[in-house]
Structure 1
Amino acid sequence: MTKTDLVEKIQASIGLSRKDAAVMLESVFSIMKESLEAGETIKISGFGSFVVSRKAARRGRNPQTGEAITIEARKVLTFKPGSVLRDAINGEAV
């Protein structure tokens, strides 16, 4: 599913114009992006949580040369589905 598909589904279900649906979706994505950049967790009831966590620097190996390298510390984004979403995906009654 693409962003365009989401805009079309919003348009069909709410009755907004395509332009208004696109603006609304972009606004939601922008708010989510800003929150995640600030390190906040986003919890959406019935859907799941987006969590930013830190990975420490660690030793690694270049698979081509076998040379030891240091993999720098970084932030990673993870998504943990809520039980309602997990049950829906697995076809279980909610």
Structure 2
Amino acid sequence: MNKKELVDEVSKYTGMTKKDVAEIIDALTRTIEKTVGNGEAVSLTGFGTFLSYERAERMGRNPRTGKTMKIKAKKVPKFRAGKGLKVNL
């Protein structure tokens, strides 16, 4: 399901206009991005938790040359499914 299909489904379910639903979804994703980017977690009970994860520095291999190289540590987003989502899958 892509964003347009999600907007259509939520619009049908709630009776709201597609424009209003799209604005809400955009606001939700921007808020989650901003919060997780600041290192805080966003928890939606029954659905899951969005959080920031620190990936450690590690050694990797350049696929073109086969040469070993160091990959720097960085923060990456992570999603942990909640109990309600796991049960419904």
Could you tell me the TM-score, scaled by structure 1's length?
0.85
Structure 2 counterpart of 1:92: none
Structure 1 counterpart of 2:15: 15
RMSD in angstroms over aligned alpha carbons? Answer: 1.3
Number of aligned residue pairs: 89
Point out where structure 1 has 5 or more consecutive residues left out of the alignment.
Answer: 90-94
Which 4+ residue blocks in structure 1 deviate beyond 3 angstroms? Answer: none
Could you tell me the TM-score, scaled by structure 2's length?
0.89
SS of structure 2 residue aligned to 1:85: helix
Shift of 1:66: 2.6
Q: Write the distance in 2 (CA, Å) between the matches of 1:20 and 1:66.
A: 51
Which stretch shows the higher mean deviation, 28-37 or 60-69? 60-69
Cα deviation 1:11-63 (Å, max 9, x = unaligned): 11111111111111111111111111111111110111112111122222224
1:34 aligns with 2:37: no
SS of structure 2 residue aligned to 1:84: helix
Q: Percent identity?
A: 33
Q: Write the distance in 1 (CA, Å) between the matches of 2:59 and 2:23.
A: 44
Point out where structure 2 has 5 or more consecutive residues left out of the alignment.
Answer: none
